Amino acid sequence: MFHKEGYTIIIVTFIIAAISAVLVNTFVTIPWLRIALISAVFMFLILILQFFRNPKRVTVLDEGSVVSPVDGKVVVIEEVQEKEFFNDKRLQVSIFMSPLNVHVTRHPIGGRVKLSKYHPGKYLVAWHPKASEENERTTVVVENNNVGPILYRQIAGALAKRIVNYAKENEQVIQGSDSGFIKFGSRVDVFLPVGTKLDVELNQKVRGGETIIARI
Return per-residue pLDDT of the chain as tens, 216 residues: 888 888 998 999 999 999 999 999 999 989 999 999 999 999 999 988 888 888 989 999 998 999 999 999 999 999 999 999 999 999 999 999 888 899 899 999 999 999 999 998 776 666 666 667 778 889 999 999 999 999 999 998 766 567 899 999 999 999 999 999 987 668 899 999 999 999 999 999 999 999 999 998
- Cα-Cα-Cα-Cα dihedral sign, residues 8, 13, 16, 19: negative
Active-site residue, selected from the candidate residues 68, 132, 179, 186: 186
pTM of the model: 0.86
Please say if 186 is a catalytic residue. Answer: yes
The answer to whether 185 and 158 have CB atoms below 8 angstroms apart is yes
* Bridge partners of residue 81, in order along the sequence: 89
Separation in Å, CA 82 to CA 85, 102, 113, 133: 7, 27, 18, 10
